[in-house]
Amino acid sequence: MIWTAHTVESNGITLHYLRGGKSDAPPIIMLHGITDNGLCWDRVARVLAEDYDVILPDARGHGKSDKPTSGYSYADLAADVMGLIDALDIAPPVVFGHSMGGGTATVFAATYPDHVRALVLEDPAWLDDPQPDDEGREAWLNDWQAWLVKSKTIPLDELIAQQAAEAPDWDESELGPWAESKHAFSLDAFQLTHQPAVNWREVVPTIQCPFLLVTADVERGGIVTPAVAAAVESLPMAQIAHITGAGHSIHREAYDTYMVAITAFFASLPE
């Protein structure tokens, strides 16, 4: 499977994306998490590309896309996706989203309901009530940003070795794209983490397409709590897949189980 690289003008910026699979098949757009890039979906996307037209954009501030100094809200990111769909003139896609990408996909589906076929939301940035302690969260974010600054100075082979030691359950193929994305990530994109999280209680019930919420173990770093998942499960368009033994990067930490859940969801979609 060979991805081809492209750019497109969208919402006032240039977005870089990879594309592969069957050009005449239904489209899939896969939105990565913060500090990642489109190629961080490669292992999952290669399987989907056997049957679909798969598009892997780098979000603004990430990868090879433009890195403006502002415009990092979920509304901005959702508008970028809408601009991509308009520019490519594709049918309403299935939109995947992990973490930040899950928040973007959530807002996109609620804002542009006629332009999405279905959603796969992998541990999206939906926080339960009560919100985490602001002071503690801010300290954690500051430490994370300091690490990201440092990561840009670490040679790729060393960064890969560090992540391999810290994430022994990741497939080796995940490590290179992950490390390269840290070197390419703009710290301006970190503005998103200092804005309010997606208000899932208001936004998610307005989603009109089928969606799969994939959750993990909170004690291993998962964001979506069992209480949030239980509240969402009652919605008519929702399906829930909880994957035990995985943390926030579910598609990396529990790839086989993740793919089983995705396959079942796709089988349930109307033609």
pLDDT digits (tens, 9 = 90+) for 198-238: 889 999 999 999 999 999 999 999 999 999 999 999 999 99
Give φ, ψ of 115 to 5 degrees: -120, 25
pLDDT at position 76 = 96
pLDDT digits (tens, 9 = 90+) for 150-190: 999 999 999 999 999 999 999 999 999 999 999 999 999 98
Q: Out of 58-67, 104-113, 187-196, 259-268, pick the least confident.
A: 187-196
- Under CATH, domain 4-268 is a member of which superfamily? Alpha/Beta hydrolase fold, catalytic domain (3.40.50.1820)
Q: What is the mean pLDDT of the chain?
A: 93
8 A C-beta contact, residue 191 and residue 92: no
Is pLDDT larger for residue 65 or for residue 197? 65
Give φ, ψ of 58 to 5 degrees: -90, 125
Residue 130 reports pLDDT greater than 60: no
Q: What percent of the chain has pLDDT over 70?
A: 96
Q: Which strands form 27-31's sheet, in the order they lie side by side?
A: 4-10, 13-21, 53-57, 27-31, 94-98, 118-122, 211-215, 238-242
8 A C-beta contact, residue 85 and residue 91: no
